[in-house]
Structure 1
């Protein structure tokens, strides 16, 4: 067994901007509330990391994703510096998808002009909900009007590719609240929606409150009903459910995220960023001081890396690929890994087919309709399936 993708040159880049106005109660990402001079310093160090990373690929970047944190916490000058530097050290394909995450209320005409000038053509706003009380309950600093205003301002600035993030399973959230959020999304005319199930992560305020019995969640049955409402409603409005948590008008799928789900390589820059290059998964340091020190010493700011074995990569191909409506093609699996999918995963596939959680038709393995709400049970079947011995 091998992985032919391990010799491929990455053509995607993830950039982490870790700063936020405040930290949400559910967030376990690498984020900081920092003064402006510290943000300025970070921008300079990030530019130097771009210079180091530029030699990792001789191919034009086809997708770039600025995540966080809140990338649009940067002011217009800082955004201009970062994007100018990216173009200086990387070749960018003429038709590249360049996405920037933004919190509602953190964009203005000046910032949007800078983004457009440097080729950013997709925005992703973290709306989460259109319930004012819920926004306060999860620690968001924007209100629902900020979502509407930001989307309209983005459209006026020439952005047609806009995603809205929604969350369900929030404390004391109701199905009616989810339905109202979907109605708002449709009214705003966005063509991509990411809908995420709340997961209470260790180290977050929500986790502490849950341990103390102070966090009232809807419960698994209600949360499953909410997911069903999201799926049926958005599909009814013409958005295809193309990935477990993502819906899009055909042709509006998130190309950068498809790189992850197809288990393809990508570069990563910034504090806490994760990359996957030539068969090695790596993670940058998460402390700003460590990041600054290593960059200053001329070192890549990598905290840890891991050589992915061909067996582990085959497991990843199944777990990630099954997140997609298109599923995993047996022919593509064979071409990539050099072995038949239904040979190396014979037991897992047979078991899942018998349970009615996957279907194997026309050379493609896909989730069944009943598996979507419990997809993690399918993915778990492939964890360590080839590497546990």
Structure 2
């Protein structure tokens, strides 16, 4: 199967691994994460090894192209724990493509030279720092405990060790955030001359402190029009500085796009390992047990899967469109035919035509993609495909 389609007939070439520990819980975060203090970290790493061993035995990997370690905050591991962890990854996913991408999420303030050295020696070649804002007041208001100085120190440490593929996350639409604050953060971020920037809007998720405040009408979010202005400014500034917007929230120098995330957006298969991790293989999705100790216990007798379900052909088609259209290059009609054996226009022609007439989609050169107007109204576009075949 073509490398840009779902690889349904083979094993995944992408691996996601979840480290669920954090120094603290940010006010907006609904990820499966737990404050580090008192957690059985060593038992968790041992459980991860058992899950890796069982996974590759039952579903041997193809040549791996990407590994992405998320959380939580993977860099809260001590240097010794990090050394053990990367050794596990290198043991069970040793057959790798030549242009292998190994990303580790990191928080400023948790990446000293010793830890970064262990990661570098272990093959990590891409870092993604959760910065969120360069405004110190806003950092405290969203529950981040790193300082702006620690951002600069972490980036400097990474450069000293010759990490040449570094990304940072920034957030828009934070409580009381102004356009001027966004511009200042963008300027500070761009002054670092990094390879990649992920810049996305705050979503108020259930089971977060921000959701509780929102329900009480105590979360002073910017107006929708103000947030749109922040996004438009972001696109303008990144483009002016030579960064290609290749996905709704992601900007990169040429060749520095997140290859792992592109696996998701191309609806490709991937292994999902760790507490609460999601995986997708041969049109079967699974979700692992979320809680730490039950996850650890489950690996003693098999795979720690909480639930799994088969994705129907119709749902796979909807997914293909929704995630594929997040990329500004859109979806290739040839890829759709190769994956599903039918033309995208036969399945979604009326939706595509309607969205094209609204000026939200462009169809040209055998591709369907968001128009400039559609980039801003992406959720309206994606919503048209959800459940459209059921």
Does structure 1 retain, via aligned residues, the 8 Å contact 2:10–2:62? no
Superposed CA offset, 1:180-212 (max 9, x none):
111111111111000010000011000000111
Q: Aligned to 1:8, which of 1, 7, 10? A: 10
Judge which range, 87-96 or 198-207, deviates more: 87-96
How many angstroms apart in 2 are the aligned matches of 1:111 and 1:36? 21
**Are 1:4 and 1:337, in contact at CA under 8 Å, matched by a contact in 2?**
no
Does the C-alpha gap of structure 1 residues 92 and 175 become closer, same or farther in structure 2, counting only changes over 3 Å?
A: farther
Structure 2 residue ranges without an equivalent (≥5):
none
**Which piece of structure 1 moves more, 27-36 or 344-353?**
27-36
Deviations 1:64-108 (A, max 9, x none): 000000000001111111111122222241431000000001001
SS in 2 for 1:218: coil
Q: Report the counterpart of residue 313 of structure 2 in structure 1.
A: 310
* Pair 1:107-2:132 in alignment: no
Please report how far the alpha carbon of residue 7 of structure 1 lies from its aligned counterpart in structure 2 after TM superposition: 1.5
Q: How does 1:69-108 map to 2 (within 5 A)?
A: 69-93=72-96, 94-108=98-112
* Match in the other structure for 2:47: 45
1:273 maps to what in 2? 277
Question: Aligned with 1:188: secondary structure?
Answer: coil
Residues 46/221 of structure 1: CA separation in 2 closer, same or farther (3 Å cut) = same
Conserved 8 A contact 1:103-1:126: yes
Match of 2:382 in 1: 379
Pairwise CA RMSD: 1.2
Contact 1:105-1:142 within 8 A present in 2 as well: yes
4+ residue runs over 2 A deviation: 3-6, 34-37
Counterpart check, 1:143 vs 2:147:
yes
Deviations along 1:209-232, one digit per CA (max 9) or x if unpaired, are: 011111100111100110001111
Once residues 39 and 92 of structure 1 are traced to their aligned partners in structure 2, the CA distance between those partners, rounded to angstroms, is 27
Provide the rounded CA distance (Å) in 1 between the counterparts of 2:271 and 2:170. 27
TM-score using structure 1 length: 0.97
* Residue aligned with 2:82, SS: helix
CA contact (8 A) 2:244 2:254 kept: yes
Unaligned 5+ runs, structure 1: none
* Matched pairs, number: 384
Q: Contact between 2:6 and 2:268, CA under 8 Å: does it hold in 1?
A: no
User: Is the contact made by 2:105 and 2:129 (CA closer than 8 Å) also made in structure 1?
Assistant: yes
**Cα shift at 1:5:** 3.3
